[in-house]
Amino acid sequence: MVYVLNFSHPLTESQKVQIQQLTGISDIDVKSIPVQIDQREALELQIAAILDAVQMSPEEWQTIPLLINPPGYAPAAFVLLAMLHGRIGHFPALIRMRPKEGAVTTFEVAEILNLQSIRERARLKRH
């Protein structure tokens, strides 16, 4: 079982199947969390409130396998990532979406990015 915290547009059934195929996990539970940023207000406080709305205990944040579909607004995604790292204790895995070719704009799941693994590989370049 993996929990998908969706901070973006609703996921289609096709996108959910793509997530299952890319992760190799058939049992996914998607929780959509609305993100609406007020540009006049402090971003950190807004993202903290959005994460609090997920209603997970400190133990759940640290033990439940999570996959994150981040918001499209880059500053919100960066602050969300920093706060998730603080709550989880490591970087989460992210869903990367991309537009599909065609007359009508639709999106597909491009890949699953395990940010903790990416970080660990990047550390090898420090020396």
Q: Helices 74-88 and 43-52 meet at what angle, rounded to 10? A: 50
Residue 127 has pLDDT above 90, yes or no: no
Query: Which pair of structure tokens corresponds to residue 43?
Result: 């971003």
Residue 57: what pLDDT? 97
Model-wide pTM > 0.85: yes
Parse the chain into domains and list their residue ranges: 2-126
Burial of residue 107 (number of CB atoms within 10 Å: 0-12, 13-18, 19+): middle
Burial of residue 121 (number of CB atoms within 10 Å: 0-12, 13-18, 19+): exposed
pLDDT tens for 80-113 read 999 999 999 999 999 999 999 999 999 999 999 9
